[in-house]
Structures are given as C-alpha cells and as structure tokens.
Amino acid sequence: MLSITKSMCLHGLEGIVIDVEVDISNGIPCWEIVGLPDTSIKESKERVKTAIRNCGIEISSRKYIINLSPANVRKEGAILDLAIAVGVLKSMNIVKNSMYESTIFIGELSLNGDINRVNGILSICIEAVSKKIKRIILPKANIEEASIVKGIEVVGVNNLIEVIDYLNGKKIITNSKSSFGRDDVIDYNLDFSEVKGQKYAKRALEVSAAGNHNCILIGSPGSGKTMMAKRIPTILPDLSFEESLEITKIYSIAGKLSNNRIVTQRPFRNPHYSITEKTLLGGGRNPLPGEVSLAHLGVLFLDELLEYKSNTLDLLRIPMEDREINISRVGINVKYPCNFMVVASTNPCPCGYYGSKIKKCSCTELQRKKYLSKLSGPLIDRFDIYLHVFPVNYKDIQVLEENSKSIRERVNRARKIQLNRYKNEKIYSNSELTPKLIDKYCKLDDKSKQIIEKSFKSLNLSMRGYSKVLKVARTIADLENKTNIEYRDVLESLQYRKYN
C-alpha cells in the first residue's frame, strides 16, 4: 500500500516541501530510503522501526520502500523522522484519516516514541505559510517558537501515540497560547558614561551606529578602543519586529535560540582572532550560519584586527559588500543574510605606540609598514570610518560624561528617518545605499561638491571611498534632522576617511 505524507527541509533559510512516499509490498524483508538522504536520514529507519515497536505496534516483515521527493534535492538531519513514521503507519492502515493533505510533519523520534525538539522551526513555519501549508504537526518543545507565526495551525505533540490518536480523531489537541515573547527591558551593565574623554571617538561611533557604517579604531594600548567598542550595543537603534524575526530565524537554524524569546537585542559577535574560516563564514556538511550571519543586523567586532590571519580577513570582503554569504558544498548551495556592521580595533604598529605622547615608538618605518600591510587595500577600503583614538588626559577623568541612553535616542531618531525614507527601497540604513540610490538621496550643493572634488585627489579616494563619504555625510545630516546634506556634514565625513 502506498501512502504520502509531507515534511520540509531547510536549505539555508529556504524551505523545500518534501513528499515522503512509503510503499509496503511483499518481497525480501528490508527497509530502503531513497531520494538523496544523508547518513542521519538513512539511520532514521532504525529509529522509526524501534519507536513504532515501542509504542506497542507490531511491524510485519515485508519490503518497505521510502522515497523522499524531489529526488534531486539533498535531505539532511533527523527532521523527517515523524513524517516517515506517519507514512509507514498510514501504509499499515494504523492511521486511517486522510483529511490532512495540507499538513507537514516535523520532528525527530526517540526510540521510545517521544518526539524531540528540532532546530529551524521558525524558518520552517514562515516558509510553510508562504507555500500555502495550513497545518504543521511538530514537537511540543517547539510550540512556542512556532506560534509566533500567523496564518498556520500549529499542533504540538509529545510522542507518536499522541500523533496517531490525533490523526484518527481520538484525541483533540488544544495548544495553550504561546509565551514566546520579547525581552523589552535590556540591561547591558555597560554605559558610555564610563568612557572618559574621547569626545571625537564617541561622536564617530554614534555616526557608525546611526547609519550602520563599518568602523576601524586605531590607537595605542590603553587608549580605550575595546572599552568603547563593547559599549556600542548600548547605543544601537531598536529592532523592528521584522528585523527581530530575521535574526531569530538565523539563531533558530544555528540552534542558538534559548529561553523561548524572540531576539530583541541586536547581535554583538566578538570572535577570537584564532577563528577558522568555516566558523567565520559558516559551513559544514549541512551548512550552518557562521559568525558573519549570526551578526546579521548587529555588530561583528574584530578586536586586535591585525592578529587575524590575512586570508581569513580577506574572506570578509564579499560579505561586507554583498551583505549575504553564499556557501557551496557538494550537492548543496545555501545563502544566509549577513548585513552586519564591522567594528575593528588595532594598534598602529607592532609596539603599539606610534603617534603616542605617552611612550616613544620603538618601531622602524619599515616595521610599521609591514605590520599595517597585513590588511589588504580592498579590505581597508570597505571601512566607512577610520577613527584614531588617543589616551585621555587627567582633566578628562573629572568630567561627567553623556550616558548611552541620550546617545541612543539620537541614533533611534536618525534610524527612523532612514526607515521612512527607504520604506520602498527594501533597505534599512544609509550604509546599504546603492550608486543609484546615492544619486537620489545624497544630493550636494555647489560648495559641498567643491570640497569633495578637492579631497578626491588629496585623500586618493576610490569610487567606493567616494560613495562612503556621501553615505556617512547622509547619516550625519540625519542625526541633525536635516533634509539635505550640507557642506559641514561633508567636512565631518571627510575627517573619518584618513587611515594612515
């Protein structure tokens, strides 16, 4: 007897509906799973057989053929266990109800018949709605995460017996209202008021946060680079619900979603300089998001930038520009979004004291150039703001500094201006402006054009560098609530372009 049930696999954030076809016939007793299954799916036949048997259902010694369609798509993970089990039970006439044509089954089976939590449920539910699926039957442990998606009936089950009774109409499952919610109160335990002096640096970081601009901090040890960078989350703009969902989907797939809470704080990822390429960009047999995707709509902080391997850093060039990462493996190609803001810190030379008034630099010019040459020109050109940080004076320590809340209010106002301006452009911030949109939204008066023309040669600006000057100027104008960019905004933007 042939039966068909539906499930779904994820390739990146894209969901693919899988038809699980089960045929039981006479012949040499065996279980065969075909249709490009990976090892974990091939092993599912043992989990399914044992789970069904431990639920008190006898399995006859016959020929079981299980086909996963479409056959040209690689399937990975134990997420199909429940669909395979239901398909087998239908073919055995244990499940008799055929009223669930527009239903998908998601879940990993234990040997005792329990249905275990799986990753990526949020993405699966969102994709299911877009594909007109009406109902999803999934592990009870995933019910809260799934319930935030509207437009689909979510049924949470604990074990295989519950599924059988529900499908046969013997049991009504009423799921309680989801408590999967938002953490609206965020306690950072850090504040910019703790950073003494550094008025110029804090202004540059405010501009970076307001427009999502990449920033590199250059300064001697103890000047406060890392201290300021770690306080950037306290001034980042609030997340919209749509942005929260985007981040939550990625964290759900990566298995990093905890406490049944939708992500409401912009990510701040701080990988060690010993990080591997796979961990940074993502990958694996079943490609999972890397640090660049986990930092989506947040910050990727690279402390001690020049300690990273040159090859690893150069891999960031395309994600920083394209804002998505394409991971290709044998038989599979997935994309993850990675619209992140890079904040990096580095010393100006090997000893760290070049340009310092506190201690004399012991490096030669050749040593300094060799040290800085670890960063390729194309990578450096992708930073919007170059920020030189100097040690503070004793007088600065006595001054009462502005707190993060005040700075964040200005950043939020500027970001709201950008969201309203670009609501029809499918972008969130000034840093995402394309050349066409720069011409549309970054118009300059004659005086501003003259200033940029003179600076183009003196700063050796590339076309990318020129575009970044205009994007940063647009953000500076937004912070001042200006409709048009003025020459003062251009002058300030140009101050942030000098690297050496």
Please state the pTM of the whole predicted model.
Answer: 0.89
Residue ranges, CATH 3.40.50.300, the chain: 192-426
| Cα(275)–Cα(210) distance, integer angstroms | 29
Average pLDDT over residues 51-66: 94
Residue ranges, CATH 3.30.230.10, the chain: 2-167
Query: 262 with 126: CB under 8 angstroms?
Result: no
DSSP conformation class of 32: E
DSSP conformation class of 481: T
Q: Is a pLDDT exceeding 60 seen at residue 416? A: yes
Residue with tokens 């939590």: 117
Q: Is a pLDDT exceeding 80 seen at residue 32? A: yes
Fold classification of 433-495 (topology level): Helicase, Ruva Protein; domain 3 (1.10.8)
> Binning pLDDT at 50, 70 and 90, where does residue 99 land?
low
- Per the structure block, which two tokens stand in for 440? 């549309």
> Binning pLDDT at 50, 70 and 90, where does residue 329 land?
confident
CATH code given to domain 192-426: 3.40.50.300
| Cα(184)–Cα(302) distance, integer angstroms | 28
Residue with tokens 């300021």: 228
* Segment 193-208, tens digit of pLDDT: 999 888 999 999 999 9
CB crowding 144-173: b at 16 or more within 10 Å, else e: bbbbbbeebebbbbebbebbbebbeeeeee
Give 403-438 as a DSSP string.
PHHHHHHHHHHHHHHHHHHTTTTT--SGGG--HHHH
Q: Residue 237: its pLDDT value, please?
A: 94
Give 174-242 as a DSSP string.
-PPPP--EE------S--GGGS-S-HHHHHHHHHHHHHT--EEEEE-TTSSHHHHHTTGGGGSPPPPHH
Compute CA 151 distance to the chain's CA centroid, rounded to the nearest angstrom. Answer: 24
Residue ranges, CATH 1.10.8, the chain: 433-495
Nearest to 275 by CA among 320, 305, 308, 318: 308
Q: Residue 260: its pLDDT value, please?
A: 60
What distances in angstroms separate CA 146 from CA 247, 319, 488, one per listed residue? 15, 30, 49
Termini Cα distance of the chain:
74
* Segment 214-253, tens digit of pLDDT: 999 999 998 899 999 999 999 999 998 889 999 999 999 9
Compute CA 127 distance to the chain's CA centroid, rounded to the nearest angstrom. Answer: 17
Nearest to 300 by CA among 285, 315, 284, 310: 315
Q: Is a pLDDT exceeding 60 seen at residue 73? A: yes
Q: Residue 77: its pLDDT value, please?
A: 82
Architecture of domain 2-167: 2-Layer Sandwich (3.30)
Nearest to 301 by CA among 250, 226, 234: 226
Residue 449: enclosing H or E segment and its boundaries?
Answer: helix 446-458
